[in-house]
Amino acid sequence: MLDIDKIRSDFPILNQLIHKKPLVYFDNAATNQKPQVVIDAIVDYYSNYNANIHRGVHTLSQLATNAFEEARLKVKAHMNAENSFEIIFTSGTTHGINLVASGYSQLLHIGDEVIVSEMEHHSNIVPWQMLCEKTGAILRVIPMNELGELDMDAYVKLLSDKTKMVFVNHVSNALGTINPIQFIIDQAHKIGAEVLIDGAQAAGHIKADMQALDVDYYVTSAHKLCGPTGVGVLYGKEKCLLKLPPYQGGGEMIKEVTFEKTTYADLPHKFEAGTPNICGVIAFGVALDYLNELGFDNIASYEDELLSYATEKLEAIDGLRIYGTAAQKTAVISFNVSDIHPFDIGTIIDKLGIAVRTGHHCAQPIMNFYNIPGTVRASFAFYNTKEEIDLFISALKRATMMLS
């Protein structure tokens, strides 16, 4: 259902050579590539209507403001938020998480409990540890199993009337596991706790519906959706955002300022202090248009094909172990080969044009669970091909032979 040749022609970076070899880009979980329409949108903004937004009466400012707010409406529609003012633009997922954590520092008390999972990216661990240090709240952890799945029985037992917030990723960046977030949300709401979902790794594969999930907060990054870096989204229910204090003070987030007292602007501007990444937000809207035209069901179906094909090929390699074999996964494979260090494999196959990620992937608790220093991670996108997977497998076999 996807015209892969046509799609690949939309991404200029895929045409280049790396070390005189065709680029095979399998580092999509870190960031994916950008279609020409997104690149053109960036150039168009700076070439034709670069201006600051919201406060200007001149024509360029009005053009920029209209384009910026049109992008907000696109995000609202994409996420099925009830209101556009529930869409807060940030610099990325990490910013969105820290914004909520900062606000909660004034809402939690000694003895309150918050829950994270053993499967989190550091960005969804460290802010909550800092929050607990400030407030005296207690951090609880949902354990995982050998398959790379969260233990839902253990999760339910962790919940109590002391639980105020649950923080879980939608998809593991290190393993590709799709977590049962609907169950997690529903169970938390039963005891009156709120839920924040880190959607950074899910966003490029799964079109999450905010109203169907009934989630309190959902955060993601534009660069995982073929948009620019330095742009992210925090979705929050209106009632949740209203109770949070502002994260930063400055221009745009105010209603009135005197030396005696400042009153804050309404949503979403209350959380958007200073000049935002105007160009990045506009280009993000274009990226969403591009992906929705392809269709997320089509993207998921094709990426599942790539995942199955690559998994079968990798499992045939002697000494190779895949970490994260959950039944529900996105197109991410983390693995090691025998006792070869992942960095060495990544370095060698880079010389053959293959781009993968090596290391702990900002998920050290996962690596500690498996008692390994890190993995090689290959992550696929809708513009990748089975032929590229064949090149990757050939390069991997060559690297392991050299390093054995």
Among candidate residues 132, 240, 279, 362, the one labeled active-site is: 362
* 36, 10 contact by CB (below 8 A): yes
Cβ contacts of 258 within 8 Å, gap of 6 or more: none
Cβ-proximal residues to 254 (8 Å cutoff; 6+ apart), any chain = 262, 263, 264, 265
* Cα 191 to Cα 141, 158, 159, 386, distances in angstroms: 17, 11, 7, 46
For residue 295 the two structure tokens come to 């269709």
DSSP 161-192: TTEEEEEEESB-TTT-BB--HHHHHHHHHHTT
* Known catalytic membership, residue 362: yes
d(CA 180, CA 168): 10
Residues 6+ apart with CB under 8 A from 43: none
Classify each residue of 108-143 as buried b or exposed e, where b means 16 or more C-beta atoms within 10 Å of its C-beta: beeebbbbbbbbbbbbbbbbbeebbeebebeebbbe
Catalytic residues: 362
